[in-house]
Amino acid sequence: MSLAFSRWLPGLLLSAALPALAYAEGPEYGPQLQGFEYPYTVKHFAFESQGESLQMGYMDVAAEGKANGRSVVLMHGKNFCGATWDTSIKALSKAGYRVIAPDQIGFCTSSKPAHYQYSFQQLATNTQQLLKALGIQKATLLGHSTGGMLATRYALQYPEQVDQLAMVNPIGLEDWKALGVPYRTVDQWYERELKVTAQGIRDYERSTYYDGRWKPEYDRWVDMYAGLAKGPGKTQVAWNSALIYDMIFTQPVYYEFKDLKVPTLLLIGTSDTTAIGKDIAPPQVKAKIGHYEVLGKEVAKLIPQSSLVEFPGMGHAPQMEEPEKFHQALLAWLSKTNSVP
């Protein structure tokens, strides 16, 4: 197993209050996000999986000042990348933590294999191999959105290697298929992903993630996602995205929250309404899914050693909406539940 190195390169803006304004389509990026700038140097972990030679992009940021000897692994969401953790990496590093922020296979700066059986177990295994190669035996996990589902699976799969688990507006706090959301085939997801545009991403995120609000700094992340989706590798990006959506929909972690054995923090923006397949759900189903002001409280009761911090009025990414408030809550909990390294 080898560690190979490389790096890449962002940008843009607009105002929230004028929904009628068209969003200018931004730049195009390569299949591994070549051309988009990350906040820290991107390295690549080379490994074999399912007969494929793969590369997993990641940032490994040392603690600033006095190191506390602890590591935090950041797990990004479906429409996000390691780069979107920029303010969290800075806050955690400043607090003395070593921070590892990987891009999972199929995402961002990592490989987009033509044939890959996606599962949260496989992604957890890939991440565990990366941490082993980096000499990290035990870590705290912080997962956002889909990364919350992955962090949950990782903590269930490798409980002895996890100090603490924190999740930011994780999806999968409910089982959509069991609640009546129709199944989309991989081919249907693929056709949908081929049509992704910056305007569509922005409209979806503003309505679903941010309760109708928008900040100019979010446009950088729209450009990132849209630029990857329309770049020279757009078909392989769309295909991997389709496989990943199928994984998310068909592999719930909801039923296993009760089995978590580590201290767990739920950080919930209560205005979030994210739910996979909501756009094709019957009206009666659509009305009852994606209510984070309820889901956070319900799941906190299922997890044995849980704590819940709610951010009233915030959406899907409180770490991006109000970084200072978010990191104050996160760091206070990490400090309070720290075990001896």
Cα-flanking dihedrals φ and ψ of residue 103, to 5°? Answer: -100, 120
C-alpha 210, offset from chain centre? 16
Query: Reduced to 3 states, what is the DSSP secondary structure of residue 99?
Result: strand
Residues in the chain, overall count: 341
- Of all helices (H) and strands (E), which one includes residue 192? helix 186-194
Task: Provide CB contacts within 8 A for 109, sequence distance 6+.
Answer: 8, 32, 33, 38, 42, 44, 57, 81, 82, 103
User: In the prediction, which pLDDT does 186 show?
Assistant: 98
Give me 132's structure tokens.
């082993």
In the chain (341 residues long), the average pLDDT of successive 10-residue segments reads: 38 33 72 97 98 97 94 97 98 98 98 96 98 98 98 98 98 98 98 96 94 94 96 97 98 98 98 96 97 98 98 97 97 81 41
The upper half-sphere exposure of residue 95, i.e. CA atoms within 13 Å in the direction of its Cβ, equals 20
Assigned superfamily of 2-337: Alpha/Beta hydrolase fold, catalytic domain (3.40.50.1820)
Q: Please say whether the beta carbons of 53 and 60 come within 8 A.
A: no
Q: Please report the pLDDT score of residue 65 as a whole number.
A: 76
Residues 6 or more apart from 132 whose CB is under 8 A from it? none
pTM: predicted TM-score of the whole model, two decimal places: 0.92
- The per-residue pLDDT for 24 is 56
Q: Read out DSSP for 268-295?
A: EETT----TTGGGS-HHHHTTS--HHHH
The reported pLDDT for the residue numbered 18 is: 35
- Taking the domains of the chain in order of start, what are their residue ranges? 2-337
Residue 19: per-residue pLDDT: 39
Q: How far is CA 79 from CA 138, 225, 232, 322, 332, in A?
A: 27, 7, 19, 19, 28
Per-residue DSSP letters for 205-231?
IIIIISTT---GGGHHHHHHHHHHHTS
Q: How far apart are CA 88 and CA 145, in angstroms?
A: 15
Question: CA–CA separation, 71 vs 60, rounded Å?
Answer: 10
**Neighbour-count burial for 55-93, b at 16+ CB within 10 Å, e otherwise:** bbbbbbbebeeeeeebbbbbbbbbbbbbbbbbbbbbbbb
CA angle at residue 242 from 237 to 245, to 5 degrees?
125
Tokens in use for 208?
A: 């679903």
